[in-house]
Amino acid sequence: MKNRTLGAVAVAAAAVLALSACAEGDSGGGDSNTLKVAYQKFGQFTQMDDHMQKVKAEYEAANEGMTVELIPIEAQEADYFAKLALMNRSPATAPDVMYEDTFMVKTDVEAGYLAPLDDYVADWADWEQFPENARQAGLGDDGKVYGIPMGTDTRALWYNQDILKAAGVQVPWEPKTWDDIIAAAEAVKAHDPSIRPFNIYSGKAMSEGASMQGFQMLLTGTEDELFNTDEQKWVTGSQGFIDSLTFVGDIYQGGLGPTPQEALDKNVGTNINTDWIPSGQLAMSLDGSWVSGTWLESGSKPWPEWSDVMQVTPMPTQDGQDPGVTSMSGGWTLAMGAGTKNPDAAWDFISLALNQENALSYDVAASQVPVRTDVAEAPEYTDANPTFGFFADLVPDTNFRPANSDYSQVSAAITVAMEAVMTGQQTPEEAAAAYDKAVIGIVGEENTTSASS
């Protein structure tokens, strides 16, 4: 399998209209003595807000006369992108510093929202701590640096070992194929129908959580791919696409997961990690390396027993074919707004937020895979969480979203196909055919290639 390169997304304007009250403290205007810092604060994820509050205090103490105006945007991922895009369209509201998903960087560069940082990183001694692959995450198509990575992530299977053991599933659980996952889910259902056996994010409400974290975690384990990087074309007519949808259908139409109504609630991720898992209502979940941050003492749902109950295992490929396991990676950066009135101050804030001390505290609290070498090697990091080493070891087998400006529309079409199957409105074959038609409409037939060609 080829690694998918980092992608880009264009935000739908329609999504913006419902977001007028998402930000706290979002005031118009601004001056060179005020830095507006926008970031996501949503549901179970409180660590970014804690981090920004800490850096604000440090920055203001060291820079007399400067004020940092924090703008926490309380929105699900897709709505956060939409709100941030809306803010960037007006000089009065555009942030000086923003929390930027790596796959958004290229689109926002094209839109003129981000300032290049090359002159700053050239004089920043800390830049040597960022390996080349980490630096690539913040590059625009012009090769310039626009985002400084905060951390990355990988994805795998979380499971409650007590539930699986009671259901007769051998622990430690090491599934080798998708069929092994289905078999474990069926065993849990037979043992205790009140427990949701397995979660895979699906449907339009979950946006990238469904497309990347759900569907692409499946597709990268097949013989097919979403985007042919050699031809630079989107793949249609894919049996792997159909098989991935079939797995989604087996979970949701087979009663092996949450109900479709539960899964289509945009708060389902919060429900899963702050309620269902800690209370023993969900046995297995395909989710990210950051999940345990919710259960730490500093998290939104402290759960001291989590490391005794929850275990992790890699997501297998479909039939156990090489490399045997698969994962998807993303990550976030801090970026500078193109219209900032004080770029030096904005850079000072970014470099302070991502120095060794602050990057270490954030990566531990948010359960991130570090991108700084001196954080990854620090005993304070390696000893902080029993799962950190496991998720870092998945990096060699991880995959990335396509680096293509059409990605966001294609991704949305994936979630439509998933939802049609999970709700029983279409068969996997019908949903895949509808997806192929949608992709051709989005990118043009000349920019697609058949999986069989």
What digits encode the pLDDT tens for the residues 385-405? 999 999 999 988 999 888 777
What pLDDT was estimated at residue 453? 60
Superfamily of chain region 155-328:
Periplasmic binding protein-like II (3.40.190.10)
Find all residues with CB under 8 Å of 435, minimum gap 6, and list them.
241, 413, 414, 416, 417
pLDDT band at 30 (very low <50, low <70, confident <90, very high): low
- How many C-beta neighbours within 10 Å does residue 89 have? 15
Mean pLDDT of 435-449: 98
CB 72 within 8 A of CB 24: yes
Q: pLDDT band for 168, please (50, 70, 90 cuts).
A: very high
- The torsion angles phi and psi of 34, rounded to 5 degrees, stand at -125, 130
- The pLDDT score that the predictor gives to residue 115 is 98
| Of 239 and 32, the one with more pLDDT | 239
CB-CB contact of 229 with 5 (8 Å): yes
Contact 284, 151 (CB under 8 A): no
Percent of the chain with pLDDT over 70: 92
pLDDT score recorded for residue 25:
39
Average pLDDT, rounded, for the chain? 91
| Second-level CATH architecture of 30-153+330-385 | 3-Layer(aba) Sandwich (3.40)
- Express each pLDDT in 403-414 by its tens digit: 777 888 999 999
| β pairing state of 282-288 and 196-199 | parallel
- In this predicted model, what pLDDT tens digit does every residue of 350-394 receive, in sequence order? 999 999 999 999 999 988 999 999 999 999 999 999 999 999 999
- Would you place residue 23 in the very low, low, confident or very high pLDDT band (cuts 50, 70, 90)? very low
DSSP letter string, 55-76: HHHHHHHHSTT-EEEEEEE---
Q: What is the pLDDT of residue 291?
A: 94
pLDDT at 16 over 80: no
Q: Identify which of 430, 410, 375, 337 has the alpha carbon closest to the alpha carbon of residue 146.
A: 337
Asked if 453 and 230 count as a contact pair (C-beta separation under 8 A), the reply is no
DSSP string, 289-306: TTGGGGTSTTSSS--TTH
Whether 129 and 374 have beta carbons less than 8 Å apart is answered as yes
Element (H, E) at 155: strand 155-160
Among 150, 90, 101, 94, which Cα is nearest to 346's? 94
Q: Is the pLDDT of residue 450 over 90?
A: yes
309: part of which helix (H) or strand (E)? helix 306-309
The confidence score (pLDDT) of residue 51 equals 96
8-12, 290-294, 363-367: which has the minimum mean pLDDT? 8-12
Query: How far is the first Cα of the chain from the last one, in angstroms, to the nearest whole number?
Result: 17
Q: Do 67 and 57 touch, CB atoms closer than 8 A?
A: no
Taking the CB of residue 172, how many other CB atoms lie within 10 A of it? 10
- Tell whether the model's pLDDT for residue 347 goes beyond 90: yes
Sign of the torsion angle spanned by Cα atoms 184, 185, 191, 192: positive
pLDDT above 80 for 95:
yes
Cβ burial of 12 (10 Å; 0-12, 13-18, 19+) is middle
CB atoms within 10 A of CB 29: 9
Beta-carbon count within 10 A of 378 CB: 18
71, 261 contact by CB (below 8 A):
no
Residue type, 262: E
Percent of the chain with pLDDT over 90: 80
Q: Quick one: average pLDDT of 279-299?
A: 94
> Does residue 415 surpass a pLDDT of 70?
yes
Count how many residues are written for the chain: 453
Among 46-50, 122-126, 143-147, 241-245, whose mean pLDDT is lowest?
46-50
Burial of 422 (0-12, 13-18, 19+ CB in 10 A): buried
Whether the link from the prior residue into 323 is cis, omega within 30° of 0, is yes
Residue span(s) of the chain under CATH 3.40.190.10 come to 30-153+330-385, 155-328
pLDDT above 70: residue 282: yes
pLDDT at 12 over 50: no
Per-residue pLDDT band at 22 (split at 50, 70, 90): very low
Is the previous residue joined to 131 through a cis bond, with omega within 30 degrees of 0?
A: no
Check residue 6 and give its pLDDT: 34
Helix, strand, coil percentages, rounded to 5, for the chain: 45, 15, 40
pLDDT at position 277 over 60: yes
What pLDDT was estimated at residue 399?
92
Under DSSP, the state recorded for 2 is P
Q: In this structure, what are the phi and psi dihedrals at residue 111, rounded to the nearest 5 degrees?
A: -80, -10
Is pLDDT at 151 greater than 70 in this prediction?
yes
Mean pLDDT (whole number) for 68-90: 92
Cβ atoms 387, 292 nearer than 8 A: yes
The reported pLDDT for the residue numbered 44 is 62
Give per-residue pLDDT as tens, 104-140.
898 899 899 999 999 999 999 999 999 888 898 899 9
CB half-sphere exposure, 224, CA atoms < 13 A:
21
